[in-house]
Amino acid sequence: MKTIVVPVDFTDLSNKAMDFAIGLAHSIDAGLMPVHSYAIPHTGETFSSTLTELLQKNAEEAMEELVAKVPSNIPCQNMVTAYPLKEALQKLSKDKSNIWVVMATKGEQDWLDHQLGTNASHIVNALDVPVFLLPEDAEFAFPLKNALFATDGEPLEDSVKLKWKDIKESLQLNAQAIKVVKNAEDVDAGIFEEMQLHEIYHKNIIGGITESAEFLNGDLTVAVHHKRNPLKSLFHSSATKRLALTHKNPLLVLHE
């Protein structure tokens, strides 16, 4: 059985991520694990053990309330930890074939940046499991039906193919590929990794992917995070990072 891990901070935004994770869990008969870190950012100040105990107590109470709202037919564990969130998620993600992560993002900066002094892209970079990013304004309904795979046209590595096959089959997705080109004369059509490929003319990649999601009725946008080639990484530039933060669809990131 797969487990869907959800970093939470008990705000409306992370509650939205929980709703998405519950939808995924229903779709594939998975379990849930909300995770909260009350780690105090490293500073030159000294914090009393009383403060740490208070943070832990408040977090455990909030987690108890959150878990109580999970449907009883979904197996649910939880974790409240003093470890930094990135390290906690890395430990949980060791079972790569059975872990998916769902994470909320907000505007130009995600809640992780505000709450934990880190950045969602750093956490995504540190993980090797599929990560579903849920932008603040993302809309979703289950079951998910149509996936749009954003590509630069380069063949996928075998590890990515296996992850994508597992997700596509588990969620029973219809999938199409999209490639944004900057010259109108370059527009073509074809096949990419057994998916119908649509080449879209647009001046920037974000606009092209966003418009494609609208007219192709996409429920989920998929992108590959290229660890070996940072220039192709989803989070290399501020422009492509905005896709993960402001896109209207949930965004699935697959790692090489």
> Going from the N-terminus, what domains does the chain have, and what CATH number goes with each?
3-134 (3.40.50.620), 146-255 (3.40.50.620)
d(CA 33, CA 21): 9
Average pLDDT over residues 134-143: 90
Alpha helices in 95-227 (DSSP H): 111-116, 120-126, 158-171, 205-215
Q: At what angle do helices 238-246 and 205-215 cross, to 10 degrees?
A: 30
pLDDT value at 84 more than 60: yes
Q: What is the mean pLDDT of residues 231-240?
A: 48
Q: Is the pLDDT of residue 42 over 60?
A: no
Structure tokens at 127: 């993980």
Please determine, for residue 61, whether its predicted confidence score (pLDDT) is greater than 60: yes
Rg (CA), the chain: 19
* C-alpha triplet 255, 228, 182: angle, nearest 5°: 85
Q: Name the pLDDT band for 235 (thresholds 50, 70, 90).
A: very low
Angle between helices 158-171 and 12-28 (to 10 degrees): 80
Asked if residue 110 has pLDDT above 60, the reply is no
**Closest Cα partner for 226 from 134, 147, 124, 133?**
124
Separation CA 169–CA 26 (nearest Å)? 15
Helix (H) or strand (E) holding 140: none
Report which DSSP code applies to 230. Answer: G
Position 210 scores a pLDDT of 84
Residue with the bigger pLDDT between 4 and 116: it is 4
Cβ count within 10 A of residue 156: 17
pLDDT of residue 119: 52
User: Between 42 and 246, whose confidence is greater?
Assistant: 246
**Which of the pair, 120 or 100, is modelled with greater confidence?**
100
**In the predicted model, what is the mean pLDDT of the chain?**
84
pLDDT at 237: 45
pTM of the full predicted structure?
A: 0.89
Alpha helices in the chain (DSSP H): 12-28, 49-68, 85-92, 111-116, 120-126, 158-171, 205-215, 238-246
